[in-house]
Amino acid sequence: MIAIYPGSFDPITFGHLDIIKRGSQLFDQVVVAVLRNPNKSPLFTVQERIEQIRLSVVGLPNVEIDSFAGLTVDYAKLRKAKVLLRGLRVLSDFEKELQMAHTNKTLSDEIETVFLATSNEFSFLSSSVVKEIARFGGSVDHLVPQHVALEIYRCYAQTYPESTQNMNNPAIHLNQPKVDLQSETVHQQEV
């Protein structure tokens, strides 16, 4: 059975990876589907987010990364998926996600929403929290994979927040050229 795990993943966090790993143990295939939303101004492009996720899920052979625009249920039908996978952190997530699940059910009776409660250590974690911390110079190394943390620091042109020595050293800036992640191919199906 194929499960779609949709989201913006801007950026992917350890909380997202928790859901992806656990979902990959429950379903034959998990498609991490990055939403292309023209109404939002993300920190990373869709292609950058796909590359970040791809590097984060190495070792999970039944996880695929893709992108889509439009209704999630339409994308799920296109991929012949029967399940939408969603993570729940707090009660407010449940209210929003339940409303979305009911709405999706009115659009397609064949697709079910499966909720996984996020592991306790990630219950506070969101992409917004990560960006807020990084924007003000805090370390996000414990919240996202290392390669993602480096990309975040580059975006905010911060110094490495790993130690006070690096924080005070103006010679150590992350505005160096980006690592070329485009050289490896990623399956991306246009919708």
DSSP characters over 61-104 = TTEEEEEE-S-HHHHHHHTT--EEEEEE-SHHHHHHHHHHHHHH
Which member of 49, 79, 89, 131 is catalytic? 89
Q: Is 45 annotated as a binding residue?
A: no
Which 3 state secondary structure label does DSSP give 172? coil
The whole-angstrom separation of Cα 14 and Cα 144 is 5
Is 56 annotated as catalytic?
A: no
pLDDT at 110: 94
Residues of the chain with CATH 3.40.50.620: 2-122
pLDDT at 40: 79
Which member of 40, 41, 92, 142 is catalytic? 40
Q: Are 57 and 29 in contact (CB under 8 A)?
A: no
The whole-angstrom separation of Cα 79 and Cα 52 is 22
Is 89 annotated as catalytic?
A: yes
Q: Is 139 annotated as a binding residue?
A: no
pLDDT at 83: 97
Q: Is 163 annotated as a binding residue?
A: no
The whole-angstrom separation of Cα 178 and Cα 151 is 8
pLDDT at 74: 96
The better pLDDT of the pair 128, 171 is held by 128
The answer to whether the Cα torsion of 22, 25, 26, 32 is positive or negative is: positive
pLDDT at 37: 83
Which member of 24, 56, 67, 127 is catalytic? 127
Q: List the structure tokens of 117.
A: 């409660």
Is 178 annotated as catalytic?
A: no
Average of per-residue pLDDT across 87-100? 87
Q: Could you report the per-residue pLDDT of 11-55, keeping only the tens digit for each?
A: 999 999 999 999 999 999 999 999 998 787 899 999 999 999 999
Q: List the structure tokens of 188.
A: 């991306």
Q: Could you report the per-residue pLDDT of 48-84, keeping only the tens digit for each?
A: 999 999 999 999 999 999 999 999 999 999 999 999 9
pLDDT at 41: 86
Is 40 annotated as catalytic?
A: yes
pLDDT at 190: 35
The whole-angstrom separation of Cα 112 and Cα 7 is 17
pLDDT at 171: 32
Q: Is 40 annotated as a binding residue?
A: yes
pLDDT at 176: 31
Q: Are 72 and 4 in contact (CB under 8 A)?
A: yes
Q: Could you report the per-residue pLDDT of 130-184, keeping only the tens digit for each?
A: 999 999 999 999 999 999 999 999 998 755 555 333 433 333 333 333 333 333 3
CATH superfamily of 2-122: HUPs (3.40.50.620)
pLDDT at 158: 53
